[in-house]
A and B are shown apart, each in its own frame.
Chain A
Amino acid sequence: MQRIDATIAVTGMNATDNPAPGVAVVRSLRHERSFAGRVIGLGYDALDPGFYAEGLLDGGSTLPFPSAGRDALFAHLCKIRSVFGVDALLPTLDSELHAVSTLADELKAQGIRTFVPTVESLERSTKAHLHELASHEGIRVPDSQPIQTVDALPGLIRAYGLPIMVKGVYYGGIVAHSEADAIHAFHHFVATWGVPVVVQRYVAGEEYNVAAIGDGHGSMIGAVAMRKLMITDKGKGWSGVTVGNPHLLAMTEAVVAALRWRGPIEVEFLRERESGELYVVEINPRFPAWIHLSTGAGQNLPFACAMLALGGDVPRPLPAYRVGTMFVRISLDQICDLSRFEQLSATGMLHLTKETP
Chain B
Amino acid sequence: MIQILTILHALLAVGLLGALTHQAFSVARRKPASPAHTFIDRFRGVNSPTFTNVVVLLFVVTSIGGGLLYPRYRVDVRTTLEDLQLRAANGVFEMKEHFAALGVGLLPAYWLFWRPPLHVEYADTRKYLTWILALVTWWNFLVGEVLNNIKGLYP
- Say whether A and B bind each other: no
